[in-house]
Amino acid sequence: MNEENTELARLQADLLDCFFRDESADVLARLREVETGISYRAWIASFDPHMAQLAATLVQKWGQRSDR
């Protein structure tokens, strides 16, 4: 895996972690603070707040973590 793919994989893991843990209505604010997302700020800023909350709800209801 090259460096760019490794960075993207870390970002994806951090985003999923936010979706798993966040029970608040402002999951988007938490996503904006993800340290691994620095080079993806514009992409994260384009997220619709309602869709980010929906993603968190779906991950919490249907997601499974292999590390737990």
Question: Any idea what DSSP says for residue 63?
Answer: -
The model's pTM: 0.72
pLDDT at 36: 81
Q: Distances in Å between the alpha carbon of 57 and those of 7, 27, 52, 67?
A: 25, 10, 9, 20
pLDDT at 39: 84
pLDDT digits (tens, 9 = 90+) for 25-64: 678 888 888 888 788 888 888 999 888 889 888 988 998 7
